[in-house]
Amino acid sequence: MKVSILIITLIVSVQFLTAQEVVVPGELKQFVEQSFLKFPRVGVMKEQVALNEVKVGLGKTAYLPTATGDLSYMHMFPTPAIQVPTGSGQSQEIRIQPSENYNAAITLAQPLIDLRVGTLLSKAKSDLDLSKDNLEGFKITLAYQVAQIYYSIVFLNKSLEVQQEQINLLQSNLQQIKVMVKNGAALSFDQISTEVKYTNTVNAYTDLKAQLDKQYNLLGMLTGNTSKDYLSDNNFNTSVFTLITDSLSAMAYRNNPDIRIAGDKIKSAGWDIIAAERLRLPVLNLQAAFGYRNGFMPNIDPINFNYFVGLGVKIPILSASRPGFQRKLAVINHDATQFELETQKAVLRKDLLNACEDIQKNQKKLASSDTLIRQAQLAHNLAAERYKFGVITNLDLLTAVSNYKDAQLSQLQFKYNLLISRLDLCRLAGIRWW
């Protein structure tokens, strides 16, 4: 109860927007659709669904009759015969089976009562549901992975812009310092300090560019899109993926893919228990056959039409399938899946709390970032003016420039962190926005 109240308290502190109003860039949706078509793992899981659909169809055929055809010829020697007395001490041999035996028949079998068939069919349908939820769960994971990469690219591009601005400022400052050193108005130490700062900034730019290339490569692996000339919306929209409802935890327990998969496993394990219990039940079958054969008394040589219809009951006494052990195994597996479900619920509760706390934290940081940027910008402008008049050193100016650009980068980082936290919350709730 305390955990639920805490989750609701954390949720209410964020702006309200229903799950149906989650709007994302159309470009991102295109990447997600491409990943569903191009990423091989999705194809593997689709084939697993198709396989289980075939198993369901195969299970339904157990209700249908089976028919077998039989053609046979057999030569027999000696042939069975009996001696029939005819009187006066005489006897006559009468054959009761021909030496040349012919048989052509079709045999039919129709299950009438077999409770195991329905159980196995329900088990197959449960496995089909499990494979479908596995596929949907993987799609959700893949979609959110693509979204995270997408916004990582946006973040890195914006960070590169800020770094480039800082490089340009340092280049301009370095040129001024060189002139001042040449004229004796500045020390060579000032030039060295500026060059060091410039080199460090260029190295940071190079590292960001390498990270950006890796993100492009990762996105290309997932979507099959190897071009880097995309991402038209190169800005952060902090309202994207805002998800708040009055029953977020209930939505998560209902839609979270891990919870759904664990529930499917419990259902499947439950059918295993029922199937093991029904191994002890008898089976009633209808049997019939018709065809042509010889060997009918009294004239055993001609081939005649014949048929039979009957019922058969198969009662397990000492079954090779060992129903008792089968049930024990099924019960143990069912209990294990129950614990797995409880584990997933505990993990989900923890992840929901962490995601909500991250959203609160990043909202507070983002709210104060504008003030920090304004202060850093004013400090930078003031330092530039004071440096022109020789009031401060070059090192003081470089510090002001660095602080201003660091404040801009921090704001970008806060926006990115907030968006990723909201993205994670939507993922936990199982929201499908594509």
Q: Is residue 300 part of a domain?
A: no
Q: Is residue 12 part of a domain?
A: yes
Q: Is residue 295 part of a domain?
A: no
Q: Is residue 180 part of a domain?
A: yes
Q: Is residue 253 part of a domain?
A: yes
At 231 the pLDDT is 56
Residue 136 belongs to domain with CATH number: 1.20.1600.10
Tokens of 354: 């962490």
pLDDT tens figures, 243-252? 655 578 888 8
Q: Is residue 316 part of a domain?
A: no
Beta strands in 142-299 (DSSP E): 283-293
Residue 46: Cβ-neighbour burial (10 angstroms; 0-12, 13-18, 19+): middle
Q: Is residue 84 part of a domain?
A: no
Tokens of 341: 């479900």
> 123 lies in which domain range?
2-68+113-282+341-428
At 209 the pLDDT is 94
Q: Is residue 310 part of a domain?
A: no
pLDDT tens figures, 251-292? 888 899 999 999 999 999 999 999 999 988 899 999 999 999
Count of structural domains, the chain: 1
Residue burial 73-96, b: 16+ Cβ < 10 Å; e: rest: eeeeeeeeeeeeeeeeeeeeeeee
The DSSP 8-state label assigned to residue 183 in this structure reads T
- Please report, rounded to a whole number, the percentage of residues in the chain having pLDDT higher than 90: 56
At 13 the pLDDT is 38
pTM, full prediction: 0.80
At 15 the pLDDT is 38
CB 287 within 8 A of CB 107: yes
At 85 the pLDDT is 82
